[in-house]
Copies of this chain bind each other. A is one copy, B any other.
């Protein structure tokens, strides 16, 4: 292999595939980035076997040359050093050449690096994905959907399936759900499918994969194509493939958890409710239980309190914008509600209670494409 490539473009793509590489892998070859050069351009691959990222840099783009390929070939280079080295190079171009025994020379500006490469034949093949079930949605909407659900996945390995976000289709919608069994975040979004007959359920993507993916997709409304198979999901962007394994196991049926009648509903300003809870949490965080108490008063006033025996007490009253139903007294995990309020884009929310011992719902006013559900906390 021997090629000369534009520095900035190469650095950009090396950083991208390096995101998939873990230094804690048990498979030595996966600490590397695989580079394959052919007459069309070069392909870079990084993987930790859960996530794999493959990018392609074409030889030419819009009439201008990006890579001059002297000699096709392939090599695997230690991601940790290679990604840092290319970032610190000072030339406009980088010359990459592989000699005997995978010895690789990188030249740029006045610097010459001689690195010990690894055998590209040892690098595992990426999963072969058959494109039976394909759907697409705009990147910015996918990004928002991830943001509004992934924070609620479980961080505990006791029920591995809960560490992922569940995807299922429902007529023309995609429904994404995350829950750690104390709180639940649900978001629906319209998608286009290659075949309206094809549906799926119980497609559970690890939260970690979605967090990595959302670093790569941007705010544009360009479509992203998603291919679902039995044990893999593939996200296709221009010149980039992002593979993730799916979690095994049956995701709980969450549909029936969401109450469909309410004893008490109130409308509040998202921001002021959030700030009030953040102040209350300053003390309840100390007590390590994050418990915040809510009590309705007369005339739509709501009182939020929190107590830490050692430090003190905080009391705050906020005026609801609308109130209907019975008086309510409930305690909940303030941090969980704050997490949800931070991802709600709407200025006004509706809080809906079915009882002091039953789950309650927070959702944006006049929108039903997402909601958050919370278990109350017993305080007696």
B residues near A110, Cβ cutoff 8 Å: 276, 316-318
Measured in the bound complex, the distance between the Cα atoms of B112 and A265 in whole Å is: 25
Q: Is the CB of A279 within 8 A of B315?
A: no
A294: Cβ under 8 A from any B Cβ: no
Q: A155 contacts the other chain (Cβ, under 8 Å)?
A: no
Q: Of B88, B89, B316, which is within 8 A of A111 by CB?
A: B316
A115 at the interface (CB under 8 A from B): yes
For A81, the closest partner residue in chain B by CB is: B311
In the complex, the answer to whether B312 meets A116 with C-beta atoms within 8 Å is yes
Is A100's beta carbon under 8 Å from chain B? no
A283 engages B81 (CB within 8 Å): yes
Q: What's the Cα separation between A369 and B366 when bound, in Å?
A: 68
Contact size class for A? 20 to 34
Report how far A111 CA is from B312 CA in the complex, Å.
Answer: 13
Which residues of A from 258 to 282 have beta carbons under 8 Å from B? Answer: 275-276, 278-279, 282
Given A81-B286, A81-B311, A311-B81, residue A316 in contact with residue B112 (CB < 8 A): yes
State which residues 53-94 of A face B: CB under 8 Å: 78, 81, 84-85, 88-90
Cα(A84)–Cα(B104), bound, Å: 53
- For A84, give the chain B residue with the smallest CB separation: B282
Least distance between A269 CB and chain B CB atoms (Å): 12
- In the complex, A314 has a CB within 8 A of chain B: yes
A115 to B311, CA, bound (A): 6
Q: A313 near B: Cβ within 8 Å?
A: yes
User: How many angstroms between the C-alpha atoms of A380 and B60 in the bound complex?
Assistant: 49
Residues on B with beta carbons closer than 8 Å to the beta carbon of A283: 81, 113
Once the chains are docked, how many angstroms separate the CA of A104 from the CA of B115? 65
Q: Does A114 contact B (CB under 8 A)?
A: yes
Task: Pick the residue among B84, B116, B279 that contacts A310 (CB under 8 A).
Answer: B116
Chain B: minimal CB distance from A295 (Å):
15
**Using an 8 Å CB-CB cutoff, how does the interface string of A109-136 with B read, 1 for contact, 0 for none?**
0111111100000000000000000000
CB pair A275–B90 under 8 Å, yes or no, is yes
Cβ-defined contact, B312 with A113, below 8 A: yes
Identify 10 residue pairs between A and B in the complex whose beta-carbon atoms are under 8 Å apart, listed by A's number: A81-B311, A85-B282, A88-B275, A110-B317, A110-B318, A111-B315, A113-B283, A115-B312, A116-B310, A116-B312
- Beyond known contacts A81-B282, A111-B279, A115-B312: 9 more, CB 8 A cutoff: A81-B283, A85-B279, A85-B282, A88-B275, A110-B316, A110-B317, A113-B283, A113-B312, A113-B313
